[in-house]
Amino acid sequence: MRPILLHGHTRSLTKVKYNRDGDLLFTVSKDAKPNVWFAHNGERLGSYDGHNGAVWDLDVSYDSKRLLTASADNTCRLWGVESGKELFRWNTRTAVRQVAFAQGDRMALYVTDATMGQPSTIWVVAIEEDLENQSDEFERKIIINGPKATVASWGDLNKTIYTGHEDGTITIWDAETGEKIKSVKSHDSVISDMQWAPDYGYFITASKDHTAKIFDAKTLRVMKTYTTQRPVNSAALSPIRPHIALGGGQEAMEVTQIGGAKQGKFETRFFHLPFEEEIGRVKGHFGPINTLAFAPDGRSFASGAEDGFVRIHYFDDDYFEFNYEEESLTA
C-alpha cells in the first residue's frame, strides 16, 4: 500500500505517538505547533496552538482526552485533545525535554534540561481530574547529578522512573523516594529513544552510538543488540511480531538528493528481534528519521524525520505472511 504523507509541520519532527486505540496520531516538531491526525487517512484533525519554541516531546492520556507537551519555551502544557484548548501550564526555568503520563493518568513527569546553571531535573506532578483543583506545585523533584537525561519514562505500576542519559547511561529511580536504584552504561553515546514492551518486561533504546539495544527492565541486562552504521534516533517494538524498527541516519547522507531522486534514501530498518538479523527496509525520507512508532495493532507504523514529513506505512500482506521456519521449529 502506498504510504500516507502528512504535510503540516514546517520543521523537523521530534516525536510521533499513537493514542491507545490507534485511530489518532500525535506529532510534535521544532515548529512549536503540535498536530493530531486521523491515522487511517492522514487527515489533520487539528493543532494545538500556543507554544513559542520547539516542542520536544508529547504524551497522550489512556482515554485520549488529554495531551501533554514538552517545549523549549520553558513550559510543559496540558491540552484538551478534542477542544484543542490549553488546559494548564507548568512554567519552568529551562527547556522541557521529556514528558509522560503515569499509568492511570493521575500523575505525570516532565524533565527539564540542564542549562543556565540548572541541573537536569525530573519533576513529578499530580494531574487532577477536575482542573479547578490543578496545581502547579510538584509532588517530587529528582535532581540528576551527572550527564543530563535525554529520555525518561515510568516503570511498571509507576513504582520506578527510567532515564537514559547523554553519555549512554540508563538509570532506574525509585519514583516514591527519588533514590537511584540502578545505573548501567551499556551505550557509548547519547540515548535518543526508549520504548517499552507492552508488559513492561523489557524496553528498547536507540543511541547515537549506532546501536539499538533491548534491556531487561529489572536487571538492565542487555538482551539484544542491533548494530547499524548510523546514529540511531529512534527504536520501536512491534506489538504483534518479534520485530523491531530502527530509524536514524546522518546529514551527510543528504548528498543522495542531488540526483533529484523522487524518493528519499533515508530508511526505516526492520530487524528480527531474537535473531538480530535485518529483515527489511522502508525508504522514503529525505532526512534522518528522528522518531518512529508502531500503530497499536501492529499493522502500520509512523515515522517522523528531519525533512519535516511524517509518513504512515501500512504493511503489505506478505509482511504478515513472512515467517522464519525456525520460529515454529522450536519446542
Partner 1 sequence: DDELLDIDFSDIEERYRVDMPTGYETVVVVDNTPKVGEEKKDRLLNAIKKIFKDIGDIKTIHMPMDSATGQSKGYIFIEFETVEQATQAVKLGNGHKLDRAHVFAVNRFDDIEKYTSTNDEYVEPAEVPFVEKEHLKSWLADPRARDQWVMMKGDEVSIYWNNKSEQPDLDHSRSNWSDMYVSWSPKGTYLATFHKQGIALWGGPTWSKINRFAHPNVKLIDFSPNEKYITTWSHEPFLTADGEHHRLAIWDIVTGRQLRTFAIDAAVAAGPEGKQKIDWPMFKWSYDDKYVARLAPGMISVYETPGMGLLDKKSIKVDDVQAFAWSPSEHILSYWTPESGNIPARVSLMRLPSREVLRTKNLFNVIDCKLFWQQSGDYLLVTVKRAKSKKATTTNFEIFRLREKDVPVDVMEVDSVLEVTNIYWEPLGSRFALLAMEGTKIVCNFYQMVPAAAPAAAKGKKAGPSVGDVALGVKLLKSFDAKGTNQIIWSPKGRFCLLAGVRAFQGEIQFWDVEELVMMGSGEHYMCTDVDWDPTGRYVTSSVSWWRVQTDTGFIMWTFTGQQLAKQAVPAFKQLLWRPRPPTLLSEEEQKQVKKNLKEYSKQFDEEDAAQTKAVTREVLERRIKLWNEWAEYRNRVHADYEAAADV
- Contacting residues toward partner 1, per CB under 8 A: 199, 201-202, 216, 218, 223, 229, 242, 250, 252-253, 256, 259, 273-276, 324-327, 329-331
Residue 326: what are its φ and ψ, rounded to 5°?
-60, -25
Q: How far is the CB of 28 from partner 1 (least distance, A)?
A: 29
Q: Which is nearer to partner 1, 66 or 210 (CB)?
A: 210
Name the minimum Å distance from CB 172 to partner 1.
16
Q: Which is nearer to partner 1, 104 or 201 (CB)?
A: 201
CA-CA distance, 306 to 287, in Å (whole number)? 5
CA angle 158, 161, 165 (to 5 degrees): 160
The angle subtended at Cα 314 by Cα 5 and Cα 290, nearest 5°, is 55
Of the two residues 164 and 231, which places its CB atom closer to partner 1 in the complex? Answer: 231
| Least CB distance to partner 1 at residue 94 (A) | 34
d(CA 331, CA 327): 9
Shortest Å, Cβ 244 to partner 1: 12
Q: Which three cell numbers stand for residue 140?
A: 517530587
Instruction: Centre a 10 Å sphere on the Cβ of residue 86 and count the other Cβ atoms it contains.
Output: 17
Q: Which CB, 85 or 283, lies closer to partner 1?
A: 283
Q: Min. distance of Cβ 30 from partner 1 in angstroms?
A: 25
CB of 215 to partner 1, least distance (A): 12
Separation between Cα atoms, residue 113 and residue 43, nearest integer Å? 34
If the CB atoms of residues 111 and 232 are measured against partner 1, the closer one turns out to be 232
Q: 69 or 207, CB closer to partner 1?
A: 207
Query: Which stretch of DSSP H or E encloses residue 319?
Result: helix 317-321
SS percent in the chain: helix, strand, coil, step 5: 5, 50, 45
